[in-house]
Amino acid sequence: MKAITANRLTDGRVIYRTLEGQWSVDITHAQHMNDNEAEAILPLAETEYAVAVGPYLIDIEADGPGGQKWRREGIRLGGPSTGSTRVLAVAQEIGAA
Amino acid sequence: MYRYTEQDQTLVAERIDEFRDQVARRIDGRLTEEQFKPLRLMNGVYLQLHAYMLRVAIPYGTLNSEQLKVLGGISRKYDRGYGHFTTRQNLQYNWPSLTDIPDILEELAAVEMHAIQTSGNCIRNTTADPFAGASADELEDGRPWAEIIRQWSTLHPEFTFLPRKFKIAVNGASADRAGIRVHDIGLQIVRNEAGETGFEVHVGGGQGRTPIIAKKIKSFLAPRDLLSYLTAILRVYNQHGRRDNLYKARIKILVQSLGADAFGAEVDEEWQTIREGELALPDAEIERIRAFFSTPSVEHPSPLPEAGGASFQAWLTQNRRAHKVDGLSSVVISLKPIGGTPGDATAEQMDIVALLTRQFGFDEVRVSPDQNLILPHVRNEDLHAVWKALVDAKLATANAGLATDIVACPGLDYCNLANARAIPVAQAISEHLETEGLSAAAGDVTIKISGCINACGHHHVAAIGVLGVDKRGEEFYQITLGGAFGVDAAVGQIVGKGLAGEDVPAAIGRVLQTYVEIRDDNERFIETLRRVGVSHFKESIYA
C-alpha cells in the first residue's frame, strides 16, 4: 500500500494526507491507497502547497513505513534515532545542578 | 574582532525585512514552494527530514560572548535547546518554524550576525584557522583577510549565481588547520624572499563525490592584489564552469579538465585587465580591517599551572595549545563527550562558554572545523578556573585531537540528502574506543564520518574515514584510510567492501590496536599508515 507524506509549510513537521483530504502528523490517520489510487491522488496533494511542501508517495507495510526507504521514513516519523538525546540529558543535569 | 558599520547593519536589516515579506507571501499562498525555495535558501533556510534547518554564518568561526549567548538563547526560545556546530565553522538549528525565522534573524542581527550566503551557489562563509591570532606557529593572522573577502563577496552581484557553491579558506600558520587544500580557493599566507607577506593561492580542491586536492596556481600574490585576483578566478569559473551537470559544476572539475597551468594562465589574462582598477586594496583599508583583530598582551606572564590534580593536568596536556604570547594559552572545548553527538551544544552549555569567554577569554571564542569550540586567549593563571567551569558544564572531555574527537555530519537523523546515519555510528565508535582504552593509547588520529557522498563530515580527509551508503534499504559503511586535512592533505583510500554499522566500532578498534602494536617510537597513526601501507590494515578491518 501507499500513503502520501509531506512537510508542513509553517514548521516543516512531517505530515500525512488523510482519507478526508486533510493533513495530519499522525501516520495512523494516513489514507492507504493502492498504486493506481496513489498516482491519481498525488497530483491533487501537490496543489495543496499552502499547507504541504513537497508531497510524495511512501510504501506502507503493517501500518508503518515500508519498502526500501523504510529507515528514512521511519526516522521522519519517529525523529532522530539518537540525535540530541544525550546532549539534552546533559542539559537537564546542568539545569538541575 | 570586526564590528558592523552602519552600512553593514542596514544591509542585514533590509535583508530581514525582505525575507519577512517573502515568508508572509509563502504562508498566505502568494508564493509557491518552487518560487520560495531559492529565496529561503539565500537566507540559509533548508527543509530537512523533520523540520526546517537554519544555518547561521559565523564568519571565520569567530564569535564574542554576546553572540554565543544569543545563539544559545535562540536555541532555547525557538528550537529544542541545542545547536549543532558544523565543519564549516557555522551553527545549525535543527527545529525552527518557518514562521519564527524572521524573528530569529532579527535577534541575530542585534548582535551583528546573519544567515546570508550560508546556502546557494554563491561564495559561502570564508573559513580560517580557528587558532588565528593566537597560535605559536603563525606567520600572520588570516582573519583580516577573511573579513576583507567577506565584505567583498557579500551580495556580490556578479557571483550570486555561480555554477555551484564556492568555498574559500585562509591560513596564516605553518600547520594548515583551515584545510586550504580542500577548498575551492585556499589562501596560505607566506613570506617572500624580500620579507614581504602575501598569499600562495591554491585552487580547485574539494571533497564530495569527486575529492581533489587543490593545485597551487600562484606562489606569491601581493596583498593589494587579493580581490582582483580572486575576482579573476571567479570570472574564469563563472564563464567556463559546467552549469549543465550538477556533478561537474564545481571549480575543481574545471581546473582538472583544463589543467592547473592553463587555468592559471586564463586567470592571469583576466587579472591583468582588472589588476590596477578599483579592486586594488589600499593600505589604509587593510590597516583599518587589521585593527579589529588584535592579539591580547600580558603584562606579567604566569607559567603553566603545575598543580590542580591529575584530571586537570590531563586536560591541559590534551586540550591546551601553545600561544604566541608568553603567559597565554589556547584551549579546546571538546564538543565530543564520550558517546555524545559531535558538535552539539545545549543552550546552557553555550551560556556557560559565553560567560567563560567574557570572564577569562578576552571576549573571543572560535568554532573549529573539528566541531569544537576554542578559547584562543586564556591567561595561564585562569586555566584551572576555566577547566573547573567546563567540568561543571560537562565540557571538559580531555580528547582534543584523539580518536574520540570524532567529526560527523548530521546524517540520516536530520539531513534530507543523507543515505545513512552518521551520529549513532560516531557515538558507538567513541564508546568502544574509550572502553578499550584506545583513544588515549592511539594518540593523534582523525576519524570523520559522512552520511552521504557529499562529505559534509569530511571523511575523505580523515586518517580513518567512514562513509555511509544505502544498499536496498540497508545502511553500510565504507572505510577509508590515509586521508589528511592539513599541509599533507590527501584523500583516503577505500579499503574494501562496506561494513554493517554495528561492525564499524570494532573494526576501527582493531585498526588502532594494530597501529599501537606496530608503530615506531613517537610515530603518529598517519605516519605508520604511510610507512606500512593501507593494505597492512585491511586484515584488521575485516577480521
Same domain membership, residue B286 and residue B138: yes
Does B346 contact A91 at a Cβ distance shorter than 8 Å?
A: yes
Of B290, B319, B346, which one is at a domain's C-terminal end? B290
pLDDT at B473: 87
Together in a domain, B382 and B416: no
Residue B220 is placed in which grid cell? 606569491
Q: Are residues B60 and B133 in the same domain?
A: no
B321 in any annotated domain = yes
Q: Where are the domains of chain A?
A: 2-96
Does residue B400 fall inside a structural domain? no
The DSSP 8-state label assigned to residue B259 in this structure reads: -
The angle at the Cα of B343, spanning B337 to B349, to the nearest 5 degrees, equals: 70
Which run of H or E residues covers position B202? strand B197-203
- Which of A9, A27, A92 has the most B C-beta neighbours within 10 Å, making it the best mutation to test the interface with B? A9
Model pLDDT for residues B405-454, shown as the tens digit of each residue: 999 999 999 999 999 999 999 999 999 999 999 999 999 999 999 999 99
Whether B68 is in a domain gets the answer yes
Q: Which residue of B has its CA nearest to A14?
A: B50
Residue B149 lies in a domain: yes
Single out the residue of B237, B240, B221 nearest to residue B229, CA to CA.
B221
| Of B392, B417, B448, the domain-final residue | B392
Cβ atoms B511, B495 nearer than 8 A = no
Is residue B162 included in any domain, yes or no? yes
Q: Quote the minimal CA–CA distance from B33 to chain A in Å.
A: 7
Q: Do B468 and B335 belong together in one domain?
A: no
Q: pTM for the complete prediction?
A: 0.95
Q: Based on the structure, what is the number of domains in chain B? A: 4
Closest by Cα among B424, B331, B357, B387 to B68: B357
Task: List the CATH number of the domain containing B517.
Answer: 3.30.413.10
Quote the CA–CA distance of B224 and B6 in Å, as a whole number.
25
What CA–CA distance (Å, rounded) separates B355 from B3? 20
Domain span including residue B341: 310-392
Closest-approach residue (CA) in chain A for B412:
A72
- How many C-beta neighbours within 10 Å does residue B68 have? 28
Shortest CA distance from A51: residue in chain B: B27
- Helix pair angle (B226-240, B143-153), 10° resolution: 50
The model's pLDDT over A39-83, given as tens digits with 9 standing for 90+, comes to 999 999 999 999 999 999 999 998 889 998 999 999 999 999 875
B375 and B411 housed in the same domain: no
> For strand B185-191 and strand B168-171, is the pairing parallel, antiparallel, or unpaired?
parallel
Q: Name which residue leads in pLDDT, B409 or B543.
A: B409
Q: Is residue B302 part of a domain?
A: no
The pLDDT tens digits for B149-161 are: 999 999 999 999 9
Which helix (H) or strand (E) segment holds residue A15: the answer is: strand A14-17
Q: What mean pLDDT do residues B48-73 have?
A: 98
Please list the residues that pair with B494 across neighbouring strands: B480
Q: Would an 8 Å CB–CB cutoff place A96 in contact with chain B?
A: no
ipTM of the complex: 0.92
Determine the pLDDT at residue B335: 98
* CATH label of the domain that carries residue B57: 3.90.480.20
- Residue A41 Cα, gap to closest chain B Cα (Å): 19
Q: Are residues B170 and B275 in the same domain?
A: yes
Q: Which of B27, B352, B414 sits opposite A83 (nearest CB)?
A: B414
Give the position of cell 545547536: B83
CB proximity A87 to B under 8 Å:
yes
Of B361, B392, B423, the residue at which a domain comes to its end is: B392
- Is B543 a residue whose pLDDT tops 90? no
Residue B331 forms part of a structural domain: yes
Task: Give the distance from CA B107 to its chain's centroid.
Answer: 24
- Find residue B46's DSSP bridge partners: B53
pLDDT in tens, B480-500: 999 999 999 999 999 999 999
Report the Cα B194 to chain-centroid distance in Å.
33
* Grid coordinates of B248: 561537474
Indicate if the pLDDT at residue A94 is higher than 70: no
Out of A50, A84, A90, name the one closest to residue B80 (CB): A84
What is the pLDDT, as a whole number, of residue A89? Answer: 52
Contact status of B131 with chain A (Cβ, < 8 Å): no
Whole-number Å distance between alpha carbons of B222 and B216: 15
Residue B394 has its nearest CB partner, among A9, A12, A90, at A90
Measure in Å the smallest separation between the Cα of A19 and chain B Cα atoms.
22
* CB proximity under 8 Å: A 21-80 to B: 49-50, 53-54, 67-72, 75-76, 79-80
Same structural domain, B444 and B532? yes
Positive or negative, the CA dihedral B409, B400, B321, B484 is negative
- B282: in domain: yes
Judgement on whether residues B273 and B331 belong to the same structural domain of the protein: no
